[in-house]
Structure 1
Amino acid sequence: MTQLNQLADLIAAAASAKKAQDIVILDMDGVTLITDYFIIGSANSTTQVKAIADNIEEKLAEQGFKLLHKEGYREGRWILLDYGSCIAHIFVEEDRRFYHLERLWGDAKSYTYDK
């Protein structure tokens, strides 16, 4: 795997620290103009999804990264955290299987985060 964007790596590490499962980084270069990377992870409960999102926000704020937009926190089934060049998608496992962003954005290079 090539050296990924520092921000994408920080997001994946923060998600991993709260036990996010099956973390995947999609390199969106040449696929969409929306962002450079999607970071996708899942959890077994809405409580864990929120804890993962909270940890991402906290760890990135400590590094000086500004959250531009957040969606889905109240329900906690699919939380989107938009940092501009990187967008984190944290799902309850069943919703992740349903929406299957990895398939939807199948033209993107995909990297499994395994640190």
Structure 2
Amino acid sequence: MNNEEKLELIVKAADSKRAENTVVLNVREISTLADYFIITSADSNRQVGAIADEILEKAKENNLEIRRIEGQRAAEWILIDLGDIVINVFQSDQRKYYNLEKLWSQADTVETTDWITE
């Protein structure tokens, strides 16, 4: 599975659990941490957990290596590290506070509208 297919899988998994304002950043040229960051959010901790669980389930079903998971217990900011792709699932207030989009503002945004249902 190539990176675009992985990105689509993850974005669709998040969207299926009503993730909001999902952004995919191509950080390949500006970071050694990963090639892509996915940032998404939800209004409640329960929904943040559901989004992360769905992403993890789809990753396992597709034999993607899950290197690290952080923040599952509090479910305010859950980080899922898949190596080349790092997923950040935020509770909406936490997303505003940490503002990763500003931190990585030099990154190109990957178009995801075809992957998200309205």
Tell me the residue number matched to 1:93.
Answer: 92
Distance in 2 of aligned mates of 1:59 and 1:41: 16
Tell me the residue number matched to 1:50.
Answer: 49
Three-state SS of the structure 2 residue aligned to 1:88 is strand
Change in CA separation of 1:106 and 1:30 when aligned onto 2, cut-off 3 Å: same
The reply to whether residue 84 of structure 1 matches residue 83 of structure 2 is yes
> Which runs of 5 or more structure 1 residues have no equivalent in the other structure?
none
> Which runs of 5 or more structure 2 residues have no equivalent in the other structure?
none
* TM-score with structure 1 setting the length: 0.93
Q: CA deviation at 1:111?
A: 3.2
Instruction: Return 74-83 or 9-18, whichever deviates more.
Output: 9-18
Three-state SS of the structure 1 residue aligned to 2:24 is strand
RMSD: 1.1
Percent sequence identity is: 38
- Report how many aligned residue pairs link the two structures: 112
Please identify runs of 4+ aligned residues in structure 1 that moved more than 4 A.
none
* TM-score with structure 2 setting the length: 0.90
Tell me the residue number matched to 1:105.
Answer: 104
Distance in 2 of aligned mates of 1:89 and 1:10: 15
Paired residues of 1:42 and 1:90 also in contact (CA < 8 A): yes
Distance in 2 of aligned mates of 1:53 and 1:64: 16
Instruction: Return 75-84 or 60-69, whichever deviates more.
Output: 60-69
Distance in 1 of aligned mates of 2:22 and 2:50: 15
Paired residues of 1:22 and 1:112 also in contact (CA < 8 A): no
